[in-house]
Amino acid sequence: MLHAAILVLGLLLAGLGSAQQVIDAIAARVENDIILLSDVRALARYQQLVDGRSENDAQILDRLIDQWIVRNEADAAQFPHPQEVEVHRAWEQLRGSYGSPEEYEARKKQAGLSDQDIRKMLAAQLYLSSYLDSRFRPSVQVDPQALEDFYQKTIVPRARARGQAPPSFEASKDYIEEAVVQRGINEQADGWLKQSRARLKIEKFVDEGRP
């Protein structure tokens, strides 16, 4: 659900003699903060690296606004940021998800990202997702029927699509339970974000139809 950092920065200006040249633009205002077009572009490049494609500008901006809401509350609660060892582990997992180190390097170059850029994105992702997990996991109720439904509608069809025999329900139970809990966290987080958005003053300056 959630992939990237919110960079709440001032408008960047470069002085050229007595004149000033704008080198970034405001994509949205959220309360008294701003989200820059460069933030939208950075998340698009990260999505390109991870998923092989990116959402359009309007969709990415919505994600950044949601991330602003989560970050604002997490910061207010003094929620701990991930340790460097956690960020490094996440980076190694991402790098290992490609067929070879060469493929990772090629995809990274194609996306126009450095390892430092990627680590910053991963650190932000860990921070925000960990906060949402801590906030909503305790209130998620796991219905035994939901576990059985997930097994029958997700695990079994997925195994058969791969030409494999489905694992038993008991062998898959821990994975299924975590997947159902995560779904519950996402549902509660979505509802909370929708309510939070309604209370905020938000102005967008990105064309909804822009790819």
- pLDDT value for 24: 81
- pTM equals 0.80
Q: 8 lies in a domain?
A: no
Q: Does 138 map to a domain?
A: yes
Q: What is the distance between the alpha carbons of residues 47 and 55, in angstroms, rounded to a whole number? A: 8
Give the per-residue pLDDT at 15.
35
Domain presence at residue 7: no
Number of domains present in the structure of the chain: 1
Domain for residue 209, yes or no? no
So what's the pLDDT on residue 206? 80
Range of the domain at 144: 13-204
Report residue 29: phi and psi, to 5°: -115, 130
What does the pLDDT read at residue 208?
58
pLDDT, residue 131, reads 98
CA 3 to the chain's CA centroid: 2
In a domain, 183, yes or no: yes
| pLDDT digit string (tens) for the chain, length 211 residues | 433 333 333 323 233 333 344 468 999 999 999 999 999 999 999 999 999 999 999 999 999 999 999 999 999 999 999 999 999 999 999 999 999 999 999 999 999 999 999 999 999 999 999 999 999 999 999 999 999 999 999 999 999 999 999 999 999 999 999 999 999 999 999 999 999 999 999 999 987 544 4
- Indicate whether 210 belongs to any domain: no
Classify residue 6: in a domain, yes or no: no
In Å, how far are 15, 24, 31, 58, 65 from 12, measured between CA atoms?
10, 6, 19, 22, 20
114-117 long-range contacts (CB < 8 A, ≥24 apart) are: 115/91, 117/42, 117/45, 117/46
Tell me the C-alpha to C-alpha distance, in Å, between residue 168 and each of 152, 153, 173: 11, 14, 9
CATH code, 126: 1.10.4030.10
Q: Is residue 1 in some structural domain?
A: no
For residues 108 and 50, give the distance between their C-alpha atoms in angstroms, rounded to a whole number.
9
User: Could you tell me the two tokens for 208?
Assistant: 């909804």
